[in-house]
Amino acid sequence: MLCGLIGAEVIEQVAPKIDVGVQDEQVSADAAKCRLYDKDSGKTFITADATKLDGDATASRKRVDEFAATFDGEPTEAPGLDELGYGRIIIAAPSSPDSGSPTEVFLGVATDTRFIRIIYRPINGATGTPAEDAVAIAKDFNTNVTDAQPSQASGDSSAPLESPADDGQRTAVAGASWLSSRLG
């Protein structure tokens, strides 16, 4: 598993033939996050994070709706999102092909136990639609966070999860700043 939170099979589906790097990977009892980037271009193509929910379904739905409302784009649907929980997908396409801005997919979903946010910039050659790929990322991330969190119980729950693909290189300040500016 690359980054411990998103599996190699999903990465091959959404970013074929990309030399993938991992940054900002952390797992604790209450939260998890990681960012995947193209090592050749340095551009991030997946930012994923999850935070623990308190169990209030109305408040959880409100968080998803507020997340979706922060982005300009077209709401869309994709098969399988409802299997995770209450979710929204927004696709923000560039105003023109020459703008230089990438298409971005914003997915927010409230599962039974956590609020997951995915920001995905589709890569040429991905096998599904951008929305389908974002759902695949969210499903894999949710499963892997569940598997990773119990392993943190024996030690410091705020310690980052190390990954062989990480090479010890972290840019947590830049990543956290970018993520907080994008996700509020």
- Is CATH 3.40.1000 what the domain over 8-155 is classified as, yes or no? yes
Mean pLDDT of 86-95: 90
Q: Please give the distance of CA 179 from its chain centroid, rounded to a whole number.
A: 10
Element (H, E) at 117: strand 114-120
- Residue 130: the pLDDT is 94
Domain ranges of the chain: 8-155
Instruction: For residue 74, count CB atoms less than 10 angstroms from its CB and return exposed for 0-12, middle for 13-18, buried for 19 or more.
Output: exposed
Comparison of pLDDT for 46 and 124, the residue scoring more? 46
Residue with tokens 């960012």: 35
With a cut of 60, say whether residue 152 has pLDDT above it. Answer: no
Q: Identify the bridge partners of residue 50 per DSSP, sorted by sequence position.
A: 32, 116
- Return the percentage of the chain with pLDDT > 90, whole number: 57
Q: Answer for the pair 46, 35: CB distance below 8 angstroms, yes or no.
A: yes
Helix (H, G, I), strand (E, B) or coil at 129: coil
The CA-based angle 96-98-104, given to 5 degrees, is: 60
- Return the percentage of the chain with pLDDT > 70, whole number: 76
The CA-based angle 168-102-98, given to 5 degrees, is: 135
Q: Please give the distance of CA 10 from its chain centroid, rounded to a whole number.
A: 12
Ranges 60-69, 116-125, 143-152, 169-178: which has the least confidence: 169-178
Confidence of residue 36 (pLDDT cuts 50, 70, 90): very high
- Residue 96: the pLDDT is 66
Please say whether the dihedral angle defined by the alpha carbons of residues 4, 120, 180 and 53, taken in this order, is positive or negative: negative
Mean pLDDT of 143-152: 74
The predicted-structure confidence for 93-111, as pLDDT tens digits, reads as follows 876 666 667 899 999 999 9
With a cut of 60, say whether residue 176 has pLDDT above it. Answer: no
**pTM of structure:** 0.78
- Residue 153: the pLDDT is 44
Bridge-based pairing of strands 31-38 and 20-27 is: antiparallel
- Residue 94: the pLDDT is 78
Looking at residue 6, what DSSP letter applies?
B
Structure tokens at 38: 């193209």
- Residue 165: the pLDDT is 41
Ranges 31-45, 77-91, 157-171: which has the least confidence: 157-171
The Cα-based distances of 5 to 34, 54, 149, 150 in angstroms read 7, 22, 10, 13
Confidence of residue 154 (pLDDT cuts 50, 70, 90): very low
